[in-house]
Amino acid sequence: MSDVDRLNTLTSWHADWKGLRVAVLGLGVTGFAAADTLAELGADVLVLASPGPDERFDLLTVLGVPFVQADLREVPAELSAQHPHVIIVSPGFHPDHPLLAWAYENGVPVWGDIELAWRLRDKVGSPAEWMLVTGTNGKTTTVQLTATMLAAHGSRVAPCGNIGVPVLDAIRDPAGWDVLVVELSSYQLHHLPLSGPGALRPWASLCLNIADDHLDWHGSAEAYRAAKAKVYQNTAVACVYNTADAATLAMVQDAEVQDGARAIGIGLGVPGPSELGIVDGIVCDRAFLEDRFERALELTTVPHLVAAGLGAPHVIMDVLAASALARSYGVLPATIHTALETFHLDAHRIETVAIGDGVEWVDDSKATNPHAADASLAAYESVVWLVGGLLKGVDIDQLVQKHVGRLRGAIIIGVDRLALRQAFARHAPDLTVYEIDPDDTELVMTRAVRLAAELARAGDTVLLAPAAASMDQFESYVERGRLFNQAVHDFLGR
């Protein structure tokens, strides 16, 4: 049997994986999950990762999995000597990485962890149905909302994927699941095949929105969108798209889906048939009922969402998206209403930190790109804006131009400062703009909060919505938000 033929047979946990030579690139959360899984299957695994103090290397030793710590800009001799049948790549490796170039030149197939998990999904009885969620922004909230609704329905459901729990860990849970709600980044989608034994066939799929992001990784906006579009491929029941984002509808129209799959629109306006939307403050379903041309079903109301802290327009869109996915699985409207009453947004997601002297301090550190910051800024009338970090190759100019009318002032943090400085000078030359020295990492939020307090007036919102990644100065957007929270409370306490 040829190597290709053997790989084509590997579509089950119970297939013969023993002795399969697999190189795993990267030892983050997904890389370790892949190595651990393949070791359990009896494959011949080699892990290649950059040097660093990581307890996962110690765990590999315990598992008996060999590894190479090296500067991976060159192909290690151990990889060439292994002659791998397949390479499992972690999401952080750019498509033009030297190790991936070596794989393509030598005809070695490259899988992501999502394809591997799909092939192994039957470890525990009947495989769970998969619901796929992607988009530039709102993925994690939508995944959590969907899982909450399905759990209220009585389903065993696991939110997983890019949300933090590897899908490979979810499919190995001994109790099994009815549904996996899988958050997929554009990195993970990039490596998914559209057909063949490794192609996903999800129950339902969703792309919330599309805006330029991660262009430094994909190389172009076109490549980024092409990766996102893969989410709809082979969908069985419902392809959910954003009626206000024509690109998502085009993705659905271009996708090859299973017979019977429906296009389901979501939007903040009055819904048409096969859509979910809002009528006179009532969140309605006109998609999942027989007489959808004549009436709609009430799911909740906008005042209920506001009372639950879910009233920002972009969060209501996440609610509509999750509701569409849940309704595709038969979750009743009353169940969705009940689930929404108990749901809370994650920390650092448009979170009110404090209110003092009439000023609201809001932490949206998770707004790591201009599209997310755009939605966050639009939710407030008068803003002192904390912005900046790693811009990831995207253009910030349009975002500044769109929102200068609502800005009381701005405070630039992070290392990518020139584009922001030029945008403010171009579109708001009279706006007060402060900059925090990027070398002052330990004090950046303390100083930013003090300057924001000088600018803010009663009725204003001081908004941390950086429109940029955090890794220039912080470990993650979580640390960035935590330090902002701490600085706000310290300042108001004094």
Q: Average pLDDT, stretch 55-79? A: 92
Q: Taking the mean position of all CA atoms in its chain, how far away is CA 488? A: 27
- In this predicted model, what pLDDT tens digit does every residue of 159-175 receive, in sequence order? 999 887 999 999 999 99
- In this predicted model, what pLDDT tens digit does every residue of 101-127 receive, in sequence order? 999 999 999 999 999 999 999 999 899
Report residue 416's pLDDT band, with 50, 70 and 90 as the boundaries. confident
Report residue 222's pLDDT band, with 50, 70 and 90 as the boundaries. confident
Report residue 379's pLDDT band, with 50, 70 and 90 as the boundaries. confident
Answer with the residue of higher pLDDT: 96 or 148.
148
Q: In what order do the strands lie in the sheet with 67-69?
A: 67-69, 44-49, 21-25, 86-89, 110-112
| pLDDT at residue 213, rounded to an integer | 56
- In this predicted model, what pLDDT tens digit does every residue of 438-452 receive, in sequence order? 676 678 999 999 999
Q: Average pLDDT, stretch 315-326? A: 97
pLDDT score of 217 more than 60: no
| pLDDT at residue 53, rounded to an integer | 65
Report residue 493's pLDDT band, with 50, 70 and 90 as the boundaries. confident
pLDDT score of 392 more than 80: no
| pLDDT at residue 54, rounded to an integer | 75
Query: Mean pLDDT over all residues of the chain?
Result: 92
Report residue 94's pLDDT band, with 50, 70 and 90 as the boundaries. confident
| pLDDT at residue 152, rounded to an integer | 97
Distance CA 383, CA 431 (A): 12
| pLDDT at residue 440, rounded to an integer | 66
Q: For 50-54, 176-180, 472-476, which range has the lowest pLDDT when averaged over its residues?
A: 50-54
pLDDT score of 229 more than 60: yes
| pLDDT at residue 212, rounded to an integer | 59
